[in-house]
């Protein structure tokens, strides 16, 4: 019996409890719903697609994943390059002139390779800045997905390493050596991807579409290519652009001696591979790579990263490091070497720097 002779009705108690539950529901339902939604958004559904890393500006990028998709992008772009060349549907046209007055060629191979490479990389890492040689037409957008698989050789040699997405710049060269491509000099043609972190080249991929050979390397990570071990600093073999051979030859022979060998070649990617131990029949070998005029960064970034990963050097002709942020051009020419005294090479070439800004 309740105090003061008041009897509690079972029906009244039930109503009171129901009213209390109603108040608690209104107080906490919004909180619980919010927590449930947060949980559902934070955890991908079983078997569902993962949110791409680097999908937001504040996100992180795993460099091992970025290396894997960069290799795939270079290969996929190379497939387009090869298909167009073998089908003889280049549709070559001039897109402008170089500073030396030579016409720059643009082909269907450049455009299709660029589209395939750009959208593959952008789909995998939406928040990462991508700089490409060719214009990307948003009206011609292509959906190219990556299944996020990592090749076994990369898994074995490279450990995961995350960096802020905003620190990354990707440089694409969808078809290096376009002039030689139009002349059907296939050995010089490459597709390239480079990843720079805070302006420093960290990942380099150089792919040769017509032989299916791919070289890749990550600074402080690993690589699938090695440097050659035999060099002769007294009479080096110097590889240069076909159009610059005459300009370099006279100064080089005066500097290194009359026995110096000048190797004219096309494509910056091919020239860097000439410094390495590459199992390719049509790949020439050189000790030093020199370029004496202005050059675009997508031409040289991948090679710079590969050389850095193997202990080599690529600098301007005055020995300055090349930053892969800001403008897309390098004004100071370049000299590249590996397993050589790079500083001594620079000191031997004071006259070439004068021509690099022309």
What are the structure tokens assigned to 162, written together?
Answer: 């995350």
**Amino acid 144: pLDDT:** 73
Residue 161 binned pLDDT confidence (cut-offs 50, 70, 90)? very high
Return d(Cα 167, Cα 198) in angstroms, integer. Answer: 5
Q: Are 295 and 244 in contact (CB under 8 A)?
A: no
Residues 191 and 214 in one domain: yes
Looking at the structure, do residues 92 and 189 belong to the same domain, yes or no?
yes
Residue 274 is assigned to a structural domain of this protein:
yes
Give the pLDDT of residue 165. Answer: 96
Strand 162-164 versus strand 213-218 pairing type? unpaired
So what's the pLDDT on residue 95? Answer: 73
CB 109 within 8 A of CB 84: yes
User: Quick one: which of 206, 224, 196 has its CA closest to 63?
Assistant: 196
* Six token digits for residue 229: 């071990």
Question: How are strands ordered across the β-sheet holding 313-315?
Answer: 261-265, 237-241, 288-291, 334-337, 313-315
Q: Is the pLDDT of residue 323 over 70?
A: yes
Number of domains in the chain: 2
Q: Flag whether 94 is in a domain.
A: yes
Phi and psi dihedrals of 227, rounded to 5?
Answer: -80, 150
Point out the domain boundary residue: 166, 195, 223: 223
> Which residues are the active-site residues?
110, 178
Highest mean pLDDT: which range of 38-47, 217-226, 240-249: 217-226
What is the extent of the structural domain holding 106? 60-223
Out of 223, 239, 269, a domain closes at 223
Note whether 245 and 261 are same-domain residues.
yes
Q: Is residue 157 part of a domain?
A: yes
Q: Which residues are annotated as a binding site?
A: 133, 173, 175-176, 299
Q: Give the DSSP letter string of 218-269.
A: ETTTEES-EE-S---SSS-EEEEEGGGHHHHHHHHHHHH-TTPEEEEES-HH
Ramachandran bin of 199, using left for φ above 0, alpha for ψ from -120 to 50, beta for the remaining angles: left
- Tell me 86's DSSP state: H
| Mean pLDDT of all residues belonging to the chain | 84
Asked whether residue 136 falls in the same domain as residue 255, the answer is no
Residue % of the chain over a pLDDT of 90: 60
Cα–Cα nearest to 331, from 300, 293, 291, 280: 293
Q: What is the CATH number of the domain that holds 166?
A: 3.30.540.10
Instruction: Tell which wins on pLDDT, 24 or 340.
Output: 340
Per the listing, tokens 């001696």 go with: 257
Residue 323: count other Cβ atoms within 10 Å of its Cβ.
Answer: 14
Alpha helices in 125-190 (DSSP H): 152-157, 178-182
> Where is the binding site for Mg(2+), in residues?
133, 173, 175-176, 299
pLDDT exceeds cutoff 70 at 279:
yes
- Both 234 and 128 in a single domain? no
* Residue given tokens 């046209």 in the structure block: 93
């Amino acid at each position: 019996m309740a105090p003061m002779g008041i009897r509690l009705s079972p029906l009244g108690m039930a109503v009171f409890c129901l009213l209390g539950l109603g108040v608690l529901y209104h107080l906490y339902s919004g909180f619980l719903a919010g927590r449930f939604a947060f949980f559902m958004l934070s955890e991908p559904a079983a078997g569902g697609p993962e949110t791409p890393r680097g999908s937001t500006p504040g996100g992180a990028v795993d460099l091992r994943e970025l290396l894997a998709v960069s290799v795939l992008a270079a290969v996929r772009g190379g497939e387009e390059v090869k298909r167009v060349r073998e089908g003889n549907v280049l549709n070559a046209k001039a897109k402008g002139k170089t500073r030396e007055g030579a016409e720059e060629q643009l082909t269907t191979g450049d455009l299709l390779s660029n589209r395939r490479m750009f959208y593959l990389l952008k789909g995998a890492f939406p928040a990462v800045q991508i700089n490409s040689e060719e214009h990307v037409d948003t009206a011609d957008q292509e959906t190219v997905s990556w299944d996020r698989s990592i090749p076994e050789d990369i898994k074995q040699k490279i450990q995961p390493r995350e960096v802020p997405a905003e620190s990354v710049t990707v440089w694409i060269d969808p078809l290096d050596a376009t002039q030689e491509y139009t002349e059907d000099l296939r050995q010089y043609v490459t597709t390239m991807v480079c990843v720079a972190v805070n302006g420093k080249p960290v990942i380099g991929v150089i792919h040769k579409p017509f032989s299916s050979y791919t070289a890749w390397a990550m600074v402080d990570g690993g690589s699938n290519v090695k440097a050659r071990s035999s060099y002769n600093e007294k009479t080096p073999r110097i590889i240069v652009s076909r159009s610059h051979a005459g300009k370099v030859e006279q100064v080089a022979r005066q500097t290194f001696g009359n026995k110096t060998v000048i190797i004219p070649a096309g494509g910056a990617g091919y020239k860097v591979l000439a410094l390495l131990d590459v199992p390719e029949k049509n790949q020439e070998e050189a000790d030093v790579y020199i370029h004496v005029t202005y050059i675009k960064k997508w031409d040289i970034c991948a090679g710079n990263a590969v050389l850095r990963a193997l202990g080599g050097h690529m600098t301007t002709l005055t020995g300055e490091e090349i930053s892969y942020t800001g403008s897309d051009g390098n004004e100071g020419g370049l000299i590249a070497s590996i397993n050589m005294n790079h500083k001594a090479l620079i000191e031997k070439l004071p006259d070439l720097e004068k021509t690099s800004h022309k």
